[in-house]
A and B are shown apart, each in its own frame.
Chain A
Amino acid sequence: MTSTHRAGARFSGIDDVQKRLATTGYLSDEAIATVVHLADRLNKPLLVEGPAGVGKTELAKAISRTLDYELIRLQCYEGVDETKALYEWNYKKQLLRIQADQGSSWDVLSEDIFSEPFLLERPVLKAIRSKQPCVLLIDEIDKLDFEAEALLLEVLSDWQVTIPEMGTLVAQELPFVVLTSNNERELSEALKRRCLYLYLDYPSTEREKQIVLQRVPGITETLAEQVVRVVKSIRDLELKKAPSIAETLDWASTLLHLSITTLDEEAIRRTMPVLLKFQTDLEKAREHLKIKGS
């Protein structure tokens, strides 16, 4: 029933998405901008998948900043169920209500205790009932139990939540939904079918350099270029955990703080642990780059 409450076009086109995301500090490329544009026009949730640290969550935050929408976040973990994702009845309050009003009939009472004041909103319900449009970020959905995934299907396709005691609550303003996944397990077909799929990979050399220049103020262009080139070489090795954009940025700012202006062997050797988190990976990278051990 999405046609009854269209949110309307929030972006005017692919270029518009790219430009406006850039003003809030998120450098996208054409593929990202296209998919965000489509998610907006088709009113579909956006499922973003990719290695850790390539800016999946950051994309959702950037969208919320760009549109000036509130960001409502559901952080998924094993054991999240409807009482944590959708809603919960405040039964302590319900009990108090019952005890405080011994005289009244059960009919009146049961009407009363299953009503708004006793409802605890959880992120998804909050996003649905929000009077202002918002961005709903369902983070790391792959950590969710398989059964719990089904809880989200109603929201994702019909923008509504059904509460047995109260009826169906339909979204007043369509939220912009972003789901992220590290691909720790296969998501169900049903979920994937309802979403637009965006695979975020490591960026191209040029884009990564731009990201470093923007996110690490004060860094020189030469140093940014050297940083990205080393990272690129390291990513081609077979590692347990290849450095992500987040780690590239950490590394670049570390170099800046240490006032290192050119990346020589000694500088790389000293600061590489910022980039690589496993001893075996470190050794492999050092060997590849012909850097003598400490």
Chain B
Amino acid sequence: MLERVLEFSEALRDAGIPVAVSESIDALRTLDHIGLEDQAAVRAAFAATMIKSGPQRTAFDTLFDLYFGTGRGPEAVAMRDKLDGVSTTQELLAELEDYLTGGEPAGMSDTARRAVAELGLLGSSSREWYSNYQVLRALDLTGLLARLVAEIPDDLSPTEQQLRRDQIDRRAREFRDAVLRETRRRVAEHRGPKAVATYAVKPLPEDLNFLSATADMAELRRAVRPLARKLATRIAMKRRRATRGHVDLRRTVRHSLSTGGVPMEPVLRHRAPHRPELFVLCDVSSSVSRFARFALMLTHALSAQFTRVRSFAFVDSIDEVTRFFEHEDFVAAIERMNDEADVVSDDGHSDYGTVLEEFLEAFGSNVGPKTTLLILGDARTNYRARKAWALRELTNKARHTYWLNPEPLYDWDTGDSAASEYAAFVDEMAEVRNLRQLEDFIATRL
């Protein structure tokens, strides 16, 4: 058991969850108080001692399945399959349909297990390997879902119909997850948990790379609000600390009356915090659009921390998009921005030179000593004129100018990237490839 727990801790660390040695020991100590055979309890106990935030739970569960849901070896799997007997696809489908349309949820994982046993084995390879896609295709889950949705009676109220559709969707999602877990478990029995762990664990939301294709926009969107809340607290804390140290004489004397005129506690003066005015310039061309949208949502979610937030989107032309974000619904705001903002005048490739010049002409007079400029983009000019002088003029007017570049540092200045040339004129050009870096940047600089 000791060895298994240590391997498990190692796997958690590989997945980006820091597990201290003392925490592994705590996890082992919990086993004195709960039965090893009660897997749900062991899972809860290990989660309580080894992870420290909600989002880490998904990776934890995946790894726990691999390391503790397995270990009885391939023979045990074969035995279990024999015990289950043969099920036909029709039987499985009937069970699945019953579950999707609101039947007892208890039998679902059983159905998933048998479905994988019957349909999941990849036939061609000599070594045993299972595929969850093969199972779902054999069952034609998509077709089944379409049929079930079509079968919802029309004479029900629209609300009721929608609720039924939602339930089918929800349960289909759960079934898919169960099938995925079962295939992984089987492969892990044959290949060992480590082999599966390397591909099965998704990166934590804060480690998702903005530029990679695996970055799920919905997941990023869900991260916006919690992150904004956290950042707001950090920024507020920083500002509060910054105002300490000046004694407010009048209030100190007033306060000393409660201790008989002896000033026992100095009262410090609170200065009104400096709230910068924030101008965000976003490259929304396809190569970096995901990052730009995310950053736009985040800065607007943080708008209470600033005097004013104005945002501008550009590709080869620039347009102000603040108006779309005035209402709280950012998803709708992004959609409207995509449809209505006037950001492409030429061929849809970013043109930093023209954009900087346009911005300077149209909005330059609004940039003043209270303004912080935030430019988001990869500084790839598509070999057009760079016009760094326009940037220099802007930075001279503004209080601070920062540039956030979603490209990895080692790619800067390769090909058409003008990173260093622009970086020379701004206070700082920072590499921001994931949420963690973005959070750090905002909390320390703004």
Contact = CB atoms under 8 A, between A and B. Distances in A.
B370 interface: no
A236 B34 contact: no
A34 interface: yes
B40 A31 contact: yes
A185 interface: yes
A268 B105 contact: no
A6 to B, nearest CB: 13
Interface string A172-210: 000000000001111001001100111101000010000
Interface in B243-272: 258-260, 264
Contacts of B329: 280, 284
Q: Pick the most buried of A91, A186, A197, A290: most chain B CB atoms within 10 A of its CB.
A: A197
Interface stretch (A116-124, A212-220, A226-234): A226-234
Interface stretch (A36-44, A57-65, A101-109): A36-44
Interface stretch (B178-186, B207-215, B220-228, B416-424): B220-228
A232 B166 contact: yes
Contacts of A42: 26, 29-30, 33
Interface centre among A35, A38, A183, by most B CB within 10 Å?
A38
B157 A37 contact: no
A197 B23 CA distance: 11
A238 B297 CA distance: 14
Interface in B269-299: none
A154 interface: no
A265 B54 contact: no
B48 A183 contact: no
A145 interface: yes
Given A30-B40, A42-B30, A233-B162, A197 B47 contact: yes
Chain B contact residues, majority secondary structure: helix
B297 to A, nearest CB: 11
Contacts of A197: 47-49, 51-52
B163 A230 contact: yes
A264 B157 contact: yes
A236 B173 CA distance: 12
Closest 3 CB pairs of A and B: A290-B158, A34-B44, A31-B44
A92 interface: yes
A292 to B, nearest CB: 9
A278 B166 CA distance: 22
B49 A184 contact: no
Contact of B159 (A92, A183, A291): A291
Interface residues of A, number: 47
B80 interface: no
Given A193-B20, A290-B161, 5 more contacts: A31-B47, A49-B53, A183-B226, A233-B162, A289-B163
Interface residues of B, number: 51
Contacts of A41: 32-33
Contacts of A229: 163, 167
B307 to A, nearest CB: 22
B258 A30 contact: no
Interface of B: 20, 22-23, 26, 29-30, 32-34, 38, 40-41, 43-45, 47-49, 51-54, 57, 105, 157-159, 161-163, 166-167, 170, 218, 221-222, 225-226, 229-230, 233-234, 237, 258-260, 264, 327-329, 331
A42 B45 CA distance: 11
B56 to A, nearest CB: 9
Given A14-B41, A196-B48, A197-B48, A236 B170 contact: yes
29 contacts: A32-B44, A34-B34, A34-B48, A38-B45, A41-B33, A42-B26, A42-B29, A50-B54, A91-B264, A145-B237, A184-B229, A185-B237, A186-B230, A189-B52, A193-B20, A193-B22, A197-B51, A232-B167, A232-B170, A236-B170, A240-B328, A264-B157, A265-B159, A284-B329, A289-B159, A289-B162, A290-B159, A290-B161, A291-B158
A269 B392 CA distance: 55
A42 B331 CA distance: 46
B234 A185 contact: yes
B163 A199 contact: no
A146 interface: yes
Interface in A66-82: none
A288 interface: yes
Nearest to A96: B260
A265 B221 CA distance: 30
A100 interface: no
Contacts of B105: 206
A230 B163 CA distance: 7
A166 interface: no
A14 to B, nearest CB: 6
Nearest to A201: B54
Interface in A12-50: 14, 30-32, 34-35, 37-38, 41-42, 49-50
A1 interface: no
Given A30-B40, A265-B159, A289-B163, A199 B260 contact: no
A278 B328 CA distance: 9
Nearest to B102: A229
A95 interface: yes
| Most interface-central of B47, B52, B105, B158 (chain A CB within 10 A) | B52
A143 to B, nearest CB: 9
Interface string A220-247: 0000000001101100101010000000
Contact of B162 (A183, A192, A290): A290
A238 B221 contact: yes
A14 B34 CA distance: 8
Contacts of B38: 14
Contacts of B54: 49-50, 183, 199, 201
B53 A183 contact: yes
B221 to A, nearest CB: 6
